Amino acid sequence: MGRVAIVTGGTRGIGRAICEKLRDEHGATVVANYAGNDDAARAFSQETGIATVKFDVGDHAAAQDGCRKVEAEHGPIDILVNNAGITRDGTLLKMDYDDWNEVMRINLGGCFNMAKALFPGMKDRGWGRIVNIGSINGQAGQYGQVNYAAAKSGIHGFTKALAQEGARFGITVNAIAPGYIDTDMVAAVPEPVLEKIVARIPVGRLGKAEEIARGVAFLCSEDAGFVTGSTMSINGGQHMY
Ligand code: CAA
């Protein structure tokens, strides 16, 4: 029987690809968290057979309760992939406090809330894998994304700090910094803006969700026990960091 994994924001885009990869490559019992889109979650479960659990990762109490519920049903969670994230793009001049706060609350606060729920059990069992999905835009910044870039940059700092705390307990904590991947989130970028971005990607195309999932699967493997506190950039060469 494989380990139990939870992937936040796991029913669509990169999260969905991660769920499928962890199931197929590690034989893990995977549970996909989602926050709002019931139709997408239902379709995901029907198509993949993977269970879902609905809660807002940015809500501290809901994340604790959600994780306990999953553990009661499926067993202790040894693999956490913090993938859930939203964008509220706009220049600072047009961005309001809610746009700032929601992105910080969900994208960065979600990582804290989930780790807070699951790190103690991983510590007690002496084994854990935490993979946080950062972003090229947290490394390089991006016009129109002070909220998102700050949250994603925060994820990279969070990763390195928690990696230091987890090492003695057999818990590795790593980040992946995806570039522009062919998902609904990137499709929401206005066409002319996206064309200019793709023109700056040396590989000459958007990435595929599966290409991020492969990196996650490696970081969650037994073989990756000596890899911790690292950031794997998967961005087609757009930013070499
Ligand atoms: N650098 C400098 N100037 C820029 C610029 C840039 N990168 N991008 C735009 N500008 C300039 C424009 O040329 C324009 O100047 P003029 O008025 O002199 O022509 C001015 O800024 C306003 O630009 P827009 O017309 O685009 O402004 P807007 O208010 O309509 O839209 C925006 C602003 C919402 C930020 C829009 O530019 C946008 O959506 N940009 C893309 C942001 C982005 O890349 N988001 C990533 C989403 S995917 C993701 O986040 C996943 C991941 O991890 C990679």
pLDDT at residue number 237: 98
All residues at 6 or more sequence positions from 90 whose CB lies less than 8 Å from its CB, including other chains: 99, 144
Catalytic site residue 148?
yes
Task: Please tell me the residue having the least CA distance from ligand 1 atom 42.
Answer: 144
Q: In the predicted model, what is the mean pLDDT of residues 117-136?
A: 98
pLDDT in tens, 163-222: 999 999 999 999 999 999 999 999 999 999 999 999 999 999 999 999 999 999 999 999
Atom of ligand 1 nearest to the CA of 185: 48
pLDDT at 228 over 90: yes
Strand order in the sheet with 171-178: 51-54, 29-34, 4-7, 77-82, 128-133, 171-178, 231-234
Could you tell me which of 185, 6, 193, 18 has the C-alpha nearest to residue 113? 6
Q: Which of 143, 148, 180, 241 is catalytic?
A: 148
Could you tell me which of 88, 117, 82 has the C-alpha nearest to residue 9? 82
Percent composition of the chain: helix, strand, coil (DSSP 3-state, to 5): 50, 15, 30
Length of the chain: 241
pLDDT at 56 over 80: yes
Distance (Å, whole) CA 186 – CA 236 = 15
pLDDT at residue number 241: 78
Contact at 8 Å (CB) between 5 and 220?
Answer: yes
Ligand 1 centroid–CA 240 distance in Å is 21
Domains and CATH numbers, the chain: 4-233 (3.40.50.720)
Ligand 1 centroid–CA 2 distance in Å is 44
pLDDT at 2 over 90: no
pLDDT in tens, 67-78: 999 999 999 999
Beta 128-133 vs 29-34: how paired, if at all? unpaired
**Helices H, strands E: what count in the chain?**
10, 7
pLDDT in tens, 210-221: 999 999 999 999
pLDDT confidence bin for 1, thresholds 50/70/90 = low
Q: What percent of the chain has pLDDT over 90?
A: 99
Q: Is the CB of 136 under 6 A from ligand 1?
A: yes
Distance (Å, whole) CA 181 – CA 198 = 10
